């Protein structure tokens, strides 16, 4: 598949999220993500606002669902989300419920393997239970905590090739990637490139990054879209 650029709107109010989304779409971003901070702050209103402003754009609701899977997915799909996120560490029945809701309400399901004891097995489990995408994810707190103790910060690139080889669904890598690393993801076989904290958003304040963000995003989108996904 053609590489896709997704921006994670890890912001805490609708107005700033919409401003950033408009800028991102002008720059060539393909998908918008209602990031977890935005969902916590604005809930369904944030997703509805994005859908109203961008009626044809895929919108990922990063719910990180752990329980109540059917209802959460149903609510987000009805609000306009085209994709919802469920965690690999959730109970098998929760993942099945999210997948069923996705089928019932025309929403695709992305499974997130964050904090899986075996990241590759976690990714495979998500695919086996019906998820159409895998998010290979090293968490924010995990990365920062390990780095604060003076240890090497883990990266999703450490096992990205193994995850890609283990599943037959599209993979995206999330968690502490530099811009250069994010752009390189299609070369690992991961066609969904996510831009967010700390790439385009201030990861500590969750505010829009300083500088000419639109010009930077355009360069990134051009670089990603020009690639072939490696198998």
One-character DSSP codes across 153-200: PP-GGGSHHHHHHH-SS-EEEESS--HHHHHHGGGGT--EEEE-TTTS
Q: What is the pTM of this model?
A: 0.93
Per the CB < 8 A criterion, the answer to whether 191 and 229 are in contact is yes
Task: Name the CATH superfamily housing domain 4-225.
Answer: Aldolase class I (3.20.20.70)
How confident is the model at residue 191, as a pLDDT?
A: 96
Cα(63)–Cα(27) distance, integer angstroms: 26
* Domain boundaries defined on the chain: 4-225
The mean per-residue pLDDT over the stretch 28-52 comes to 97
Interstrand relation of 4-9 and 108-112 (parallel, antiparallel or unpaired): unpaired
pLDDT digits (tens, 9 = 90+) for 134-147: 999 999 899 989 98
The mean per-residue pLDDT over the stretch 63-72 comes to 98
Cα(121)–Cα(53) distance, integer angstroms: 38
């Amino acid at each position: 598949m053609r590489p896709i650029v997704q921006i994670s709107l890890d912001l805490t109010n609708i107005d700033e999220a919409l401003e950033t989304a408009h800028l991102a779409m002008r720059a060539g971003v393909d998908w918008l993500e209602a990031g977890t901070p935005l969902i916590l702050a604005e809930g369904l209103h944030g997703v509805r606002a994005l859908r109203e402003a961008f009626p044809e754009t895929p919108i990922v609701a990063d719910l990180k669902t752990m329980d109540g899977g059917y209802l959460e997915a149903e609510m987000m799909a009805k609000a306009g989300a085209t994709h919802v996120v469920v965690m690999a560490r959730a109970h098998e029945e929760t993942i099945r419920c999210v997948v069923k809701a996705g089928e019932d309400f025309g929403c695709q399901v992305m499974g997130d393997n964050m904090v899986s004891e075996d990241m590759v097995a976690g990714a495979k489990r998500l695919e086996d239970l019906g998820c159409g995408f895998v998010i290979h994810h090293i968490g924010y707190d995990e990365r920062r905590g390990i780095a604060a103790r003076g240890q090497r910060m883990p990266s999703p690139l450490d096992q990205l090739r193994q995850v890609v080889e283990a599943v037959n669904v599209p993979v995206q890598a999330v968690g502490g990637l530099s811009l250069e690393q994010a752009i390189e993801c299609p070369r690992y076989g991961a066609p969904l490139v996510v831009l967010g904290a700390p790439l385009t958003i201030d990861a500590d304040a969750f505010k829009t990054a300083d500088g000419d963000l639109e010009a930077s995003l355009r360069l990134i989108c051009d670089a990603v879209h020009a690639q072939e996904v490696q198998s």
